[in-house]
Structure 1
Amino acid sequence: MDNYTTQTAFCDCEDPEIKGLADELREKSSDDREFIVNAFYYVRDEIKYFFEPFVKASETLNTRKGNCYNKANLLVALLRNEGIPARFAFKWISGECFSDIPIINTKSRFMRKINHGICEVYANGEWLKADCTRDKYLSPERAMDFDGKKSTRDPYLIEECGYSDDLTDAIKEQEKLGGKFGEARQTFDILTNTNIDDLRCKRSGVRMFNDEDIKTVSKRCYELIDSLIKLRHRGDAKMTLRAIKYYTKIYNYNIEVIDGKDRYCKFMLSFPEGVLRSTRLCLYNLLLGMVHGINPDMMVEGGEEDGKWRVEMVDKSSNSGHILSKMELMAKFL
């Protein structure tokens, strides 16, 4: 059991801030089981669920934000600080786990199954699953309950994938998945986080992003997708519209084409309920970045009308086309 109670590269359970929090939780606990439960609920609700990069447990505690792995890592660190054996369990789960986050198209092939990591704690002679991923402020109906006696539920489980005393291998696997699509992954995280923040505010009044944050991440969406695409052969308006339509495979938005010519397109963007204005702004900036990456001379005008975005594209380039730009764009994503 020694390897489940010691510090590792990412699980820095001996960090002073983690020790300080563990001491506070211990003062409120009459025994180990109560400490385990108190630590679980602290991480579940005080660390808000977001799509975040992998960081040390102490950094997650500092930012108060984390994905499933980050939150599991902090819970493991708190338990290990108190000498309670804890480890990481990995699994594949259904993309339906995101069905309450409307910007994500859970029917997409990219969402068929999702990597998921949780904490397991050794208590009463057995390993118990303690999934603290969703906080009650975002997902009151999906936040798991835990009493230190029985494992948390597995409603979206597809396959168990083993366990480990550290996250190093899991992080390497995630980095492989990123690869040349790192910018696309970052834009996905930004859009999803904006939607999560909107939903959390709507459901419980808790918000982590202010107006300046939204402006910053919207600009970042533009920059990331523009950098990712950057075509040598400029695409015309019709080809650009097709690229925008392709992204509906990942994000939940609809396109109603009003006019679709080679050098001029007009369409309306509509969104499902729950995709609020901050998320729409980020998505609109992502689409602007996509247009600029395909053709920097494409003029775009748009505005909000009755909860939809009206978009008009006019190709001012003298050397844009369809076939070469389409082939180049396809090659980038193969």
Structure 2
Amino acid sequence: MTLLLLYAAVFIAALISVEAVLRSYFRKSERQRAVNDRLSLLDVSEDHLKTYHAMLKARGADEDWRSLPFVQRLRQYYAQSGVKFDAQRFALYGITGAVLVWLAVQFLVPTTLVRIPVFLLVCLAIPIVVVWRKRANRIRKFTLKLPEALDVANRSLSAGHPLPAAISLVAREIPDPVGTEFGLLSDELTYGTTLDHALINLSQRVGAEDLNLLAIALSVQAGTGGNLVEILQNLSKTLRDRTMLKAKVKAISSEGRITAIFMSVYPFLLYALIKALAPTYFDPVWASGHGTTIVAVLVAIMAVGNVILYKMVNFEY
């Protein structure tokens, strides 16, 4: 057991070293990545239409999301994460992750009959969780920067520029993800897409609820008229107030959320700890022939309890 842990530690150390080398080779610096991705692509090619389609294709958003509901919904979810497919990195992470998961499953799960489905389930869950976290972080960054983008558009409109020029200015001045998304919005307007459809596409690409308010406000203003600068100023203030309210609710419920996370993870940590200190402690349970049934029932009960628990500590606002 000690030798196995030593091998695992060496493997993880080698993985971290390889990742550090690949990070310096494949990825830009933190400062460079903060620059608008669309502008960096336009520096390479001045063909806006080609760049526009290339960006949509890299994000998995180049086809109609509504043609096949389930598959296209997954494509839309992936596009909203902003993750770009890299075959080399995907292969490296896939092989390395599969090896680490198999070692962990082999250590924790006693029988081969149970190991294989658990291994497949974990390997399927990890990329889903990664994409989900990337999507949540991207939407959060977009929501925080959206009021600033509206302020930039307001200043442009107050100077006498038309709305497409104001959107183009936001694309140049605001960093990702707002800059790139508004750049795609500007490209769509340039290539003849109506404002309503372009805003709908923007909302579907990003997935932020606050964009629905922007789409409704601009659509109503385009149809009925009104002071667009004042509308965007009020919308910017509303979005800032919503962000502050979310932060307050998140701070107040932080204790409950961390308790829920700890209670969800604690049984598995306790099992791993006992398994490491006393490897034969659970052998009578598995030898009885009812171990799989017991674990399945307990996991189902925990799943129901976790759903109730997270409903209690997560609020909709």
More helix by share: 2
More strand by share: 1
| Structure label with greater radius of gyration | 2
TM-score (norm 2): 0.28
